Amino acid sequence: RQQILSPLNAGGTGSKILATSRTKDALIALGAAEQRCIPMPVLDEDVFLKLFKHYAFHNVCVAADDRVRLKDIATQIARKLKGSPLVAKIVGEQLRMRPNTDYWRSSQDVNHLDDTMGALWWCYQHLDEQIRRCFAYCSMFPRRRYLERHELVKLWAAEGFARSSNEGKDLEDVCQGYFDELVSASFLQPEVKKYSSKKDTYIVHDLLLDLADKVAGNDCFRIENQWKQIGDSLIMEGCEEEVPPDVRHLFVQTYGSELINDKICKLDNLRTLIIDSGERRKPVEEKVLKNLFVRIRKLRVLIIRGYNGQGALSVPKSICQLRHLRYLAFLTRYDTGGRLVLPGTLTKLYHMQVLDFGSIGSLVFNSCEG
């Protein structure tokens, strides 16, 4: 709440914030008076049809007679979409990629289009298998998290999602194509961060993240921070939700040694572990890393973001146990310097594709270790 309201401290007298939400309770939690919450009506049918046709016919070149027939079919399809702008965009763009009357007529008869999630499911089913895997992988990240193109592409490549008939083609180039397909189909949407130097960031809409959660099942899981109201303050708490024992890709928003030792180290099928802690006063302990390396040997991706950068962190030589590791990152939250010592056993990780140490001030490679 304070983060949202803080820009008003520098604003002129009378400055206001316009917030939109799918639920009234969320607005009230931000401090809005209930009588000032304005319900937004659904789009007028004619306006919604124009919006849908905009996406379905944008840059589509067909014969005049076919265009007339397609417009008639589009009118029938639009009536099934319940006035949802997001669904109009995604379904419209899916149809735009196949501008023929037979396909549009078959789509018109699909019962899935009768509700929002069904329409999104229908669009998901039209993606290629590998692209569906990449989209489901996004369910691991928290809601409204900004996703960077280059990072996602490298992650997908490290996970082995790339499939290509051209054996000489670079894996990241293949995954880049998957990314572009998801953007084209609006499953990933460009987002601009006004107060960040990061560019080329994307976001998964809440409804699409619901779909990603559904299709990912227990393969992906996220442990998110929970916020508790105490007086006028919001206090962050860890999540006590049970982690599925067969999870393969896990995102942890707050680092805790007990969480790692007691829960995560028991996840035998884990392929991805991203620890994204913002707690600068809680650096990851070397003994926890040692336990992790010995226990979770199937990891392909290990990212620890939030290492506080103070003092030195020595990576245990037992990291060589992670023989399948392809992506390793130790990232500081801020440019705080610090020292990272890597063991000589790192050279035994023959499948490594990405090493990322961000803005760590001093990187030492201990080549004497065997």
CATH number at residue 325: 3.80.10
What's at 241, amino acid-wise?
E
Instruction: Tell me the three state secondary structure of residue 100.
Output: coil
Question: Where do we find the tokens 């939109």?
Answer: 20
* Residue 130 is assigned to a structural domain of this protein: no
Q: Residue 228: what pLDDT?
A: 44
Contact between 358 and 333 under an 8 Å Cβ cutoff? The reply is no
Q: Say what the pTM is.
A: 0.79
Query: What is the per-residue DSSP string for 237-302?
Result: E---PPPPTT-SEEEESS--HHHHHHTGGG-TT--EEEEE---TT-PPPHHHHHHHHHH-TT-SEE
The answer on 317 and 237 residing in a single domain is yes
Q: Which residues contact 268 (CB under 8 A, 6 or more apart)?
A: 296, 298
The answer on 236 and 364 residing in a single domain is yes
Instruction: Tell me the three state secondary structure of residue 202.
Output: strand
Q: Residue 229: what pLDDT?
A: 42
The answer on 256 and 204 residing in a single domain is no
The answer on 370 and 229 residing in a single domain is yes
* Residue 82 is assigned to a structural domain of this protein: yes
Please tell me the distance from the alpha carbon of residue 176 to that of residue 154, in angstroms, as a whole number. Answer: 9
Please tell me the distance from the alpha carbon of residue 7 to that of residue 2, in angstroms, as a whole number. Answer: 9
End-to-end alpha-carbon separation of the chain, Å? 51
Contact between 343 and 313 under an 8 Å Cβ cutoff? The reply is no
> For residue 51, what are the CA distances in angstroms to 93, 154, 199, 313?
11, 35, 28, 54
The answer on 313 and 302 residing in a single domain is yes
Please tell me the distance from the alpha carbon of residue 332 to that of residue 199, in angstroms, as a whole number. Answer: 19
Helix axes 116-125, 206-216, angle to 10 degrees: 60
The residue ranges of DSSP E strands in 102-200, in sequence order, are: 147-148, 189-191
The answer on 370 and 231 residing in a single domain is yes
Long-range Cβ contact pairs of 113-118 (< 8 A, separation 24 or more): 113/77, 113/80, 113/81, 114/80, 114/82, 115/82, 116/81, 116/82, 116/84, 116/86, 116/87, 116/207, 117/207, 117/210, 117/211
Residue-level pLDDT, tens digit, the chain, 370 residues: 566 667 667 777 777 777 777 777 777 877 788 878 888 777 788 999 999 999 999 888 888 888 899 999 999 999 888 888 888 899 998 899 888 889 899 888 887 777 788 889 999 998 999 999 999 999 999 988 899 999 999 999 999 999 876 666 789 999 999 999 999 888 998 886 554 455 689 999 988 999 999 999 999 999 886 544 444 443 445 555 688 999 999 999 877 788 888 889 999 999 999 988 755 446 677 888 899 999 999 999 999 886 555 667 788 999 999 999 999 998 876 555 667 888 889 999 999 999 988 777 778 887 665 4
Please tell me the distance from the alpha carbon of residue 105 to that of residue 87, in angstroms, as a whole number. Answer: 18
Compute the chain's Rg from CA coordinates: 24
The answer on 340 and 274 residing in a single domain is yes
C-beta neighbour count of 8 within 10 angstroms: 11
Residues in a beta bridge with 223: 252
The answer on 302 and 236 residing in a single domain is yes
Which tokens in the block code for residue 247? 């999870």
* Residue 132 is assigned to a structural domain of this protein: no
Q: Vertex 85, ends 84 and 88: CA angle to 5°?
A: 90
Contact between 300 and 158 under an 8 Å Cβ cutoff? The reply is yes
The answer on 224 and 210 residing in a single domain is no
Contact between 131 and 188 under an 8 Å Cβ cutoff? The reply is no
The answer on 246 and 304 residing in a single domain is yes
Domain total for the chain? 4
The answer on 192 and 95 residing in a single domain is no
Please tell me the distance from the alpha carbon of residue 151 to that of residue 213, in angstroms, as a whole number. Answer: 20
Residue 28's domain comprises: 2-36
What is the DSSP secondary structure assignment for residue 318, as one 8-state letter?
G
Out of 163, 192, 215, a domain closes at 215
Which tokens in the block code for residue 341? 């010592």
The answer on 271 and 226 residing in a single domain is yes
